[in-house]
Amino acid sequence: MNSKKIILIVTLAFLTSNTVFSQWNKGKGNGYYKLSAWYLEADKHYTDTGKKDPNITRSQFNISFYGEYGLLDKLDVITYIPFFSRAVEFDDVSGTTGQIIDEGEAFNSIGDIEIGARYGLLKTDYLALSVSLKLGIPTGDNAGGSDGSFQTGDGEFNQLIQTNLGTSFNLGAVPFYAKTYVGFNNRTEDFSDEFRGGLELGANLLKNKLWLIGRADLLESFQNGDLSAQTAQGSIFANNIEYVSLGAEVAYYITKKLGISFNFTGAISGELIYAAPAYSGGVFLDIK
């Protein structure tokens, strides 16, 4: 498989890992805001049959803003803005002679912006049920670089409808929360539609200062699009991507409102994605 056609792993940060408390509505006037960086580097990938193959090392780097704001007690507005996105292909170096076979290249631009809303259907002291709609705006470049393979967007307008269910409980003296979500992502421009689902479990340590979080996410293609799984120029959001990923996050509150977080996520199986973990870290402001 030509490395120029390899698909980078889809970023789920804006779906499940941008806020510790994303299963709850924020409440009128409250908000959660995060500035973060995300990085992936890989020299191998999952093929369209799920096997691993080597490739010329590529990387993807994003700096983004994520925000949630409570317009009403039951209605939040959500935005994700990757205002800087960088796609890089490293030099292809001969393992025998050390000579450069093919020079690398880099491309910078804005990424695809997401806007959305979440509406709370049910909220008690221990249970929260909500629905959300997120719109993917094709603000990124879907044909960057000298050969068009350095993409920071998919060039299509998508709509993700999602149901979120969360609960909180204690195990001994330690507060926990758990949540699950299922969603349907409608993609335009001949991309296949997608099913998305996931689980998340968090534990609160050190008297509301430290959160330890684990996640599992699934993406399945409906295989109902006409676009080739490998587009002519490669795509960060390619057609018929599939994966199962596991992730972990540590979030620490420096004050009652200000904190920092670090995240690790990797696909344990997949198709048309890199076989490498992604790392992210950021600073957040939690107003409640």
What would the DSSP string read from start to end of 20-86?
TTTTS---TT-EEEEEEEEEEEEEEEE-TTS-EEEEEEEEEEEEEEEEEEESSSSEEEEEEEEEEEE
pLDDT value at position 21?
44
Predicted confidence (pLDDT) at residue 236 exceeds the cutoff of 60: no
pLDDT value at position 48?
86
User: How far apart are the C-alpha atoms of 129 and 15, rounded to whole Å?
Assistant: 16
* CATH level 2 (architecture), domain 3-287: Beta Barrel (2.40)
Percent share of the chain, pLDDT over 90: 64
Predicted confidence (pLDDT) at residue 4 exceeds the cutoff of 50: no
Q: Where are the alpha helices (DSSP H) in the chain?
A: none
Neighbours of 14 (CB within 10 A): 24
Neighbours of 58 (CB within 10 A): 24
Q: How far apart are the first and last CA of the chain?
A: 50
pLDDT value at position 6?
40
- Model confidence pLDDT, tens digit, residues 159-189: 999 999 999 999 998 999 999 999 999 999 9
Residue ranges covered by each domain of the chain: 3-287
Neighbours of 4 (CB within 10 A): 19
Mean pLDDT throughout 199-228?
Answer: 93
Q: How many residues does the chain have?
A: 288
Mean pLDDT throughout 237-257?
Answer: 93
pLDDT value at position 101?
79
Cα torsion for 157, 163, 168, 171, to the nearest 10°? -90
Mean pLDDT value across the chain: 87
Q: Which of 59, 4, 2, 10 is nearest to 271 (CA)?
A: 10
pLDDT value at position 142?
86
Task: Identify the residue with better confidence: 84 or 46.
Answer: 84
CA distances from 176 to 96, 206, 212, 251 (A): 53, 13, 10, 14
Predicted confidence (pLDDT) at residue 125 exceeds the cutoff of 90: no
Mean pLDDT throughout 84-113?
Answer: 87
User: How far apart are the C-alpha atoms of 81 and 111, rounded to whole Å?
Assistant: 7
User: How far apart are the C-alpha atoms of 269 and 57, rounded to whole Å?
Assistant: 19
Report the SS3 class of residue 200: strand
Predicted confidence (pLDDT) at residue 276 exceeds the cutoff of 50: yes
pLDDT value at position 158?
96
- Model confidence pLDDT, tens digit, residues 14-69: 333 344 444 578 999 999 999 999 999 988 888 888 899 888 888 999 999 999 99
pLDDT value at position 237?
61
pLDDT value at position 94?
66
Predicted confidence (pLDDT) at residue 213 exceeds the cutoff of 80: yes
Percent share of the chain, pLDDT over 70: 89
Predicted confidence (pLDDT) at residue 11 exceeds the cutoff of 50: no
